Amino acid sequence: MQTAQTKGRILVIEDNREAADSLKLILEGFGYAVDVAYSGEAGLSAAVSAKPDLILSDIGLPDLDGFELVRRLRRSEVTRDIPVIALTAYGPEARDMAFASGFTGHLTKPIEPQLMRSILAGFDLESGVNSSAP
């Protein structure tokens, strides 16, 4: 949940610590509260405890890949409605698999900060409404 000072709470799930921490700084610069998990299992726990408004998750996680992660998020009553965007270097070929698994969106790395800002603007995180949903 967001606080009065932020646009919303985002959970970043990324095993590359440098990439995760950099993305956190960018998102905080945009006004979001950001939590980071460096593995799929840690991401599942963080999603339940932090109850973020949006999750940005890598697909290529070493312990629990993003496809299984999002399937588990969708099965949980606590996390099933949280929008989850795949952040991956796998490219467009992974897009269909991402959506079939339950991801809300798919972005190919590296992601330009202004593109990220534009994508996030499609989600009304302050009210919990996804205005970019198909």
Q: Map out the domains of the chain with their CATH numbers.
A: 9-126 (3.40.50.2300)
pTM over 0.75: yes
Whether the predicted pLDDT of 85 surpasses 80: yes
Residue with tokens 């606590």: 78
Confidence band of 130 (pLDDT split at 50, 70, 90): very low
Confidence band of 70 (pLDDT split at 50, 70, 90): very high
Residue pair 8/32 in contact (Cβ under 8 Å)? The answer is yes
pLDDT at 37: 98
Whether the predicted pLDDT of 23 surpasses 80: yes
Mean pLDDT of 10-35: 96
pLDDT at 3: 45
H or E, element range at 129: strand 129-130
Contacts for 97 with CB less than 8 Å, ≥ 6 apart: 67
121 against 54, higher pLDDT: 54
